[in-house]
Amino acid sequence: MTTQASQVVLINGFGVLFVVLNAFGLGLRLPVGKLLAQAVAHWKIAVLTLVANFVVIPTLFVGYLVTIASSIPDEIKVGFCIAALSAGMPFAPVLAKLGRANINIATMLLVLLTVATTIALPLGLPLAIDAVDVQLKTSSWDIAWPLLLFLLLPLALGCVFRLLWSDLAKPLQRWTVRVAILSLLLNLNFTLLVYWGLFVQTWGTGSYLAALAGPFIGLGCGYLLVTAVRVKNVPIRHAAEITTAVRNIAPMLLMMIFPFAADPLITVSITILNTIGIVTVLLFVLVWRRTNSGAPPTDEPKTAQAAQGAAIE
């Protein structure tokens, strides 16, 4: 095995480890009953979040790729299509806390979008690839099985573990998250090391400039979402905007590792888009933190009826 092949194995291994541990850790900290109550109390936000993330954003991405960004390489387009259909950023609650947004709403939307991605990505990605007219093809099952095995199953196992051994869930969750973050950092570092030449080569294709559209499409859709529902509660508004703005790196990693492993430019494009997206949204979050300096990071009314009354006109 060559040195580069060994490094690619490490990239893939750390990527899968992050996805599995992050999903399992998310399940460990999920109070299922409270999560369902949040979804019911804020059902309008939940429904419109699904529409924004799996109808509006992919449509805008595809339209952008066939018009303004039509000249970028086909593999880059596929990476952007994967990102468009991968919703539910794993670190949305962390960004929500940093921006003094509503952490509970961010967590509820994160789980909802992550589960929905396991359905929307296998169904929508082949259609999106056909729409941008690239030569790369894959089947719905090739997309679905890694999501079911490495994302949805660990999430469910984490929820079951929390129900059966609640006293062990919290300390285990802390270590799980730490190892998951370390795995993601190692994955990113090895990706930069192995594919640095492709990152430099891609600079001249206009792909970096094209990637700037990603977070602004997400932020714009998030703003329209909370405006359409007439959300007045600022922490809830920002929680919905954060979870809509940044895409989910977990399913993107699985697509890079499994159905599109032979196309390193897809790995490069996803890394570029995800990095630019996180940095852009982080800047907005820091601004929101300053403007919301007098508000607590969670602003939950006491009851479901009060929650709807406080959040929606």
Q: Running along the chain, 313 residues long, what does each successive block of 10 average in pLDDT?
A: 80 96 92 84 92 95 92 92 93 90 93 95 95 87 97 95 91 93 95 93 88 90 90 90 91 95 92 92 91 59 41 38
Confidence (pLDDT) at 6 = 85
Measured from the Cβ of residue 24, the count of other Cβ atoms closer than 10 Å reads: 22
Decide yes or no: CATH 3.40.50.150 for domain 3-311. no
Render pLDDT for 54-73 as a digit per residue (tens, 0 to 9).
Answer: 999 999 999 999 998 999 99
Render pLDDT for 40-51 as a digit per residue (tens, 0 to 9).
Answer: 889 999 999 999
Closest CA to 277 of 16, 40, 84: 84
- Whole-angstrom Cα distance, residue 53 to residue 26? 20
Confidence (pLDDT) at 296 = 55
- Whole-angstrom Cα distance, residue 213 to residue 191? 23
Residue with tokens 């990605």: 125
Confidence (pLDDT) at 21 = 96
- DSSP per residue, 49-87: HHHIIIIIHHHHHHHHHHTTTTTS-HHHHHHHHHHHT-B
- 255: helix, coil or strand? helix
Structure-block tokens of residue 309: 């009354």
Measured from the Cβ of residue 125, the count of other Cβ atoms closer than 10 Å reads: 26
- Estimate the share of the chain in helix, then strand, then coil, as percent rounded to the nearest 5: 80, 0, 20
- 247: helix, coil or strand? strand
221 contact partners, CB below 8 Å, separation of at least 6: 52, 53, 56, 57, 60, 244
- Whole-angstrom Cα distance, residue 51 to residue 72? 28
The phi and psi torsions of 195 (rounded to 5 degrees) equal -110, 20
- 231: helix, coil or strand? strand
- 144: helix, coil or strand? helix
pTM above 0.85, yes or no: yes
Domain residue extents for the chain:
3-311
Structure-block tokens of residue 88: 């539910």
Confidence (pLDDT) at 298 = 54
Confidence (pLDDT) at 295 = 56
- Whole-angstrom Cα distance, residue 139 to residue 149? 17
Measured from the Cβ of residue 46, the count of other Cβ atoms closer than 10 Å reads: 18
